[in-house]
Amino acid sequence: MAKQEIEIETKDGKAKAGLFRPAAAARAGLILYMDAFGPRPALDHMAERFAGHGYAVLVPDLFYRKAPYGPFDAKTAFTMEETKTKLMALVSGTTQEMTIRDSGAFLDALSAEGIGTIGVVGYCMGGARALNAAATHPDRIVAAASFHGGNLASDAPDSPYRKAASIKARVYVGTAGVDRSFPPEQSARLAEALRVAEVDYVIENYVDVGHGWCVPDHSVYDETGAERHWKRLTMFFGETLG
C-alpha cells in the first residue's frame, strides 16, 4: 500500500503523518496512535496491514512539537541512558491533553478523505490516547482499541478511565501478562469504570507476552501473540466499522 506523507494543521502547529490508503475504496478509517519510539517503518508495516483489510490509516507523529528527534532503535532505546533520557523527555513533554487537542485535527484529516466511520488503536503510550480520543469525540469514533497501553486507570487526572462515561465506542483492551504500567488493580479499575458507564468492552489478558509484544521491531516482539492480536483486532474492527 502506498504511503502518502502529509502535514496536519493543529492548534499547536503542523503534525507530520503517514496516510495509507487501501487498493479499493476504504471501508472505514483508522487512526493509529504510536508507541514511545515514534513513527518508523515498523508502524508503517502495521498500517499497511490494516490498509490491506480495506481501511484508510493515519499514523500521526504525536511528538511533532519536539521535532526533529530520533530516530530510535526500539530494541535498545530504553537500555541506553542517553536515548532513554531523550525518549522520556519526549513522552513526558507530550501530554495527554496535547494529544486530545490534536485528535480533532486527525479526525478531520480522515474526514477530508471522505471517511465517515472511524476507529482508533493505540500501542504503549498510544493506548491511553486512543481511549481519551474516543471519550473526547464520542460521536465520531465508533471503535477504540489499546494494546499494552500504560496507565489506563492510574491516579493521574488524565487517565482515561475517568472519562469512561463519555465513551460511546466499543472498546477492546489487550494487556500483557506482566506489565508494570498496567497492573491488575488498574485493569480492575478500568473494567469497573467501563461497566458502570455501560460501555461495550472487552479486556483480554495475553498471558505469555511482555509489554510491547505486538510491534515487530520491539525487543519483546512475540509473533504468536502478535498474530493473535491481529486476529482479535481485525475481527473487532470488522464487526464495528464494517
Question: Which pLDDT tens digit goes with each residue over 15-29?
Answer: 999 999 999 999 999
200 CB-side CA count, 13 A: 9
Instruction: Give the SS3 label for residue 54.
Output: coil
Residue 136 neighbours by CB under 8 Å, 6+ apart = 100, 103, 104, 163, 166
Percent above pLDDT 70 for the chain: 100
C-alpha 118, offset from chain centre: 13
> Residues 104, 106, 109, CA angle at the centre, nearest 5°?
110
Average pLDDT over residues 146-165: 97
Percent above pLDDT 90 for the chain: 98
DSSP string, 169-212: SEEEEEEEEE-TTS-HHHHHHHHHHHHHTT--EEEEEEEEEETT
Res 242: pLDDT:
81
Average pLDDT over residues 156-165: 97
- Residue 16, sorted as left (phi over 0), alpha (psi -120 to 50) or beta, turns out to be beta
Phi, psi of 112 (to 5 degrees): -65, -20
CB crowding 152-174: b at 16 or more within 10 Å, else e? bbbeeebbbbbbbeebbbbbbbb
Among 70, 54, 120, 129, CA closest to 94 = 129
Residue 171 contacts residue 240 (beta carbons within 8 Å) = no
**How does pLDDT run across 166-215, given as a tens digit for each residue?**
999 999 999 999 899 999 999 999 999 999 999 999 999 999 999 999 99
pLDDT at 65 > cutoff 90:
yes
pLDDT at 134 > cutoff 90:
yes
Average of per-residue pLDDT values in the chain: 97
